[in-house]
């Protein structure tokens, strides 16, 4: 009886170890790519840690008395982020874009938008979601033209909060006729 508990415990630990290794390997390509260029002088590097992002979650947004609904929506959305990583360079942008496409496994991502033009500029927005209304990662890759940009936003980003933010910005816009009527 005791040996079956040990076997069951060992199997469960092995199973969770495999799951943990798979979870780490899904982000390791992006992590390795960022790590590769952290000290490279050709790149502007921005890294916002999960510790800093968690501070947004601890802010009492309701008691902050924000007059601006847009700012409140941004703060609520930022509290869902666990980290932000950004790499930017103007040196050989097309080369770095192609390299990122080769090294980062994008099969786990869904393409939100792709833009390509005759000047070999490429823009790709990709998301990794949990199948519901939560995005685990938003990845932006820009290459060609004048710069290479790689941005990764990681967290549990609520699609409903993104919609709220978009609506807040739309509510502040006035139709051209409304602006003329005020004059």
Q: What confidence tens digit (pLDDT) does each residue in 23-55 have?
A: 444 454 678 888 999 899 999 999 888 888 777
Alpha helical stretches, state H, the chain: 2-37, 50-58, 69-78, 93-103, 159-172, 176-181
CA–CA separation, 157 and 77 (whole Å): 7
Q: Is 136 among the domain residues?
A: yes
Q: Is 21 among the domain residues?
A: no
| Other CB atoms within 10 Å distance of the CB of residue 60 | 6
Q: Is 178 among the domain residues?
A: no
Is the per-residue pLDDT at 17 higher than 60?
A: no
Split at pLDDT 50, 70, 90, the class of 57 is low
Please give the residue range of the domain that contains residue 128: 26-172
Question: Once rounded to an integer, what is the mean pLDDT over residues 112-125?
Answer: 85
Domain count, the chain: 1
Q: Is 4 among the domain residues?
A: no
């Amino acid at each position: 009886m005791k040996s079956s508990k040990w076997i069951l415990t060992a199997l469960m630990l092995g199973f969770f170890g495999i799951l943990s290794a798979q979870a780490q390997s899904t982000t390791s390509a992006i992590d390795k790519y960022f790590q590769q260029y952290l000290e490279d002088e050709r790149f502007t590097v921005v890294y916002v840690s999960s510790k800093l992002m968690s501070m947004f979650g601890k802010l009492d947004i309701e008691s902050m008395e924000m007059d601006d609904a847009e700012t409140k929506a941004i703060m609520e959305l930022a509290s869902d982020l666990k980290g932000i990583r950004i790499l930017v360079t103007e040196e050989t942008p097309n080369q770095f874009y192609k390299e990122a496409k080769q090294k980062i496994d994008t099969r786990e991502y869904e393409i939100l938008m792709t833009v390509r033009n005759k000047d070999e500029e490429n823009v790709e927005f990709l998301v990794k979601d949990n199948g519901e209304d939560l995005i685990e990662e938003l990845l932006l890759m820009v290459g060609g033209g004048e710069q290479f940009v790689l941005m990764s936003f990681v967290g549990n980003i609520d699609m409903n909060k993104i919609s709220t933010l978009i609506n807040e910005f739309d509510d502040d816009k006035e139709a051209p006729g409304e602006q003329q009527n005020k004059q």
